[in-house]
Structure formats: structure tokens, C-alpha cells
Amino acid sequence: MSGDLNIPTAPAIDGAQHIHSGKVRDLYRMTEGPQAGRLLMVASDRISAYDYVLDSTIPDKGTILTRMSLWWFDQLASLIPNHVVSTDVPESVRGRAVFCEELAMFPVECVARGYLTGSGLLDYRATGEVCGIALPEGLEDGSALPEPIFTPASKAAVGDHDENVSFDAVVTAVGAGTAAALRDLTLSIYGHAEELARMRGIILADTKFEFGARADGSIVLADEVLTPDSSRFWPADLWQPGRAQPSYDKQIVRDWLTSPESGWDRTSGERPPALPQQVIDHTRARYVEAYELLTGESF
């Protein structure tokens, strides 16, 4: 069952028409000015957990996600083009938005895993496999895999769960040639990013990418990339298989929501409660720390 997303109404932007809102991002089309016809993608400070968009927000989150994605797009430029056209955006969303290409998006979440955790761990415990890929016996939560694997997921409607699928399902959805290209790009990008993150003391456990196609059929990296919202980042010096790992993502929020302190029952159908200030502050601090460690820049 999908959660009651309760996505706030997207703010009006002069000269722009609102098209769509997801859990975190709002999409507009410019109707006036030199960028008329262009898509404007804005990252909000919203945070989601367990298929709910929470009533609480994380200050500066949208700016951190945007700046981190732009930094990674630069690091990956030699591997694949990206959808960013310009960062010269309207003043009201400056720092948290980009003008981007309009692409034909592929209906698949392209996930790379170098470590076993999350939904991959659940699949492994049930079947010994992840997305049809057999893995060695004896792996634990946080175990490093023998080599990174491509574990795609279906792209669900907003508010529904993405579901892990096999490579054959991707072939059915996009064709054999495109499926192979998406798999190879996903693993290539992950390998490059994992090495770069490790040099900075961070383990990139897994991540998901979204790709689209230009009119000429060329594949482009889109949406956000390698942020704490789309990736699991772990402090390398604290990594210890066999337990949940400390992380730089919104696990802090998930942990509080499922703790007795929150008083929230996930099965009740009721919306999650507002986050206490200390959880908001701690989450923001972890996002900032991840940004600064990876980029070497001060936020």
C-alpha cells in the first residue's frame, strides 16, 4: 500500500508552469524569457520515509542535493553526458535548481550494489540471490560483494514501492541492447564513484541512477546523482559487517520513526509524526558532512 504522500503545493515561479512534483523535486516548464520551453528542476527541503512525505523539512537539503549532484556530474563527465543545461536559474530557486534537457526517460531504476544491505539483503536472506544473481553463502548485513552487481528496480508511481526486478525484465521493458548499455553504464559509473568516495573515507554501498534518451538515441544521466537521497554512504572507518552501518543518509529519520520514542505504528495507516528538532538538526549535519567530505568544499 502506498503512503499518504501529502506533497505540499509547489511554489509559484514567475515565468514558469508547474508540471509535476515528486517526493523531493518539483518540475516546471519555462513559459517566458530566454529559457522559454526549458525544463526547470527544483530540489526542495522535503524528506520522505516509508512512502510518506513528512510534514517536517530538513533546512538546506535541496541546496545540498543540487550542489552534490552538480559536483558528481563534473566528476563523471568523461563517462557519460548529463541532463544539466544551465545553473543560471530564477533568483527564487537559485542554488537548488537547474535547467535540464527534456529526455525520454527509461522506466527503470538502475541500481548498483557493492555491499549487501537493504532490500538486497532481504532478497538474499529469502533466496540466496539478488535480482536473480546468485551470491555466496554466509554474507551478512554490510558484507562487501565479490564484485558490484546490477540490481534494477521497477520505477513505481510516486508513493508506491520500487520493486527489484531481474535483468530479463529490463530487457523486456527497453530491449536487449539498451538493457545491456544501462547495466554497463551503471556499473562503470558506480565503480568510478566508489573509488573516488573511498579515497575520501566514504564507502559507497549502493546507489541508483536514472537515465534518459535524447532524440538521437544517445543515453544521458538525469535527475540527481550520488546524493544521500539516492545512495548509501557509510564512514569507511566504522564499517563492520554483521550490523546496520552508520550512514550519511536519512537513516537517522527512519530509525527515529520506528523507535518507541516516536510513538508511530507503521501499520496503523496514520501519517508519521513531526520530527523533533534534534533529529532534523542531526540529519542536516550528516548531509552537510557527506557533501564536505566528498567535494572538499565548505557548505
Q: Are residues 132 and 51 in the same domain?
A: no
Q: Does residue 213 form part of some domain?
A: yes
Beta bridge partners of 133: 130
109-140 tens-digit pLDDT: 999 999 999 989 999 999 999 999 999 999 99
Domain count, the chain: 2
Do both 98 and 115 map to the same domain?
A: no
Is pLDDT at 91 greater than 60 in this prediction? Answer: yes
CATH code for position 44? 3.30.200.20
Q: What is the DSSP string of the chain?
A: ------PPPPPP-TTEEEEEE-SSEEEEEE-SSTTTT-EEEEE-SEEEETTEEEEEE-TTHHHHHHHHHHHHHHHTTTT--BSEEES---GGGTTSEEEE---EE-SEEEEEEEE--HHHHHHHHHHSEETTEE--TT--TTPEEEEEEE--EE-PPTTSPP-B--HHHHHHHH-HHHHHHHHHHHHHHHHHHHHHHHHTTEEEEEEEEEEEE-TT--EEEES--S-TTTEEEEEGGG--TTSPPP-SSTHHHHHHHTSGGG---GGG-PPPPPPPHHHHHHHHHHHHHHHHHHH----
Verify that 64 and 144 share a domain, yes or no: no
Considering the domain architecture, whether residues 65 and 123 belong to the same structural domain is answered as no
Residue 186 has pLDDT above 80, yes or no: yes
176 with 51, same domain? no
pLDDT tens for 7-65 read 888 999 999 999 999 999 999 999 998 999 999 999 999 999 888 999 999 999 999 99
Domain that includes residue 4, residue range:
1-102
Q: Which domain-ending residue is among 70, 102, 134?
A: 102
The closest alpha carbon to 174, from 131, 217, 118, 123, belongs to: 217
Instruction: Tell me: do 49 and 66 sit in the same domain.
Output: yes
Residue (of 230, 225, 222) closest to 105 by Cα position: 222
Residue that finishes a domain, picked among 102, 126, 152: 102
pTM exceeding the 0.85 threshold for the entire prediction: yes
Q: What is the pLDDT averaged over residues 68-73?
A: 98
Q: For residues 52 and 114, state if they share a domain.
A: no
In the structure grid, which three cell numbers stand for residue 96, read together? 537548488
Q: Do 114 and 204 fall within a single domain?
A: yes
The pLDDT value recorded for residue 3 is: 47
Among 238, 270, 294, identify where a domain stops: 238
Average pLDDT over residues 184-191: 98
Q: How far apart are CA 295 and CA 221, in angstroms?
A: 20
Residue 255's alpha-carbon distances to 244, 264, 289, in angstroms, are 11, 11, 19
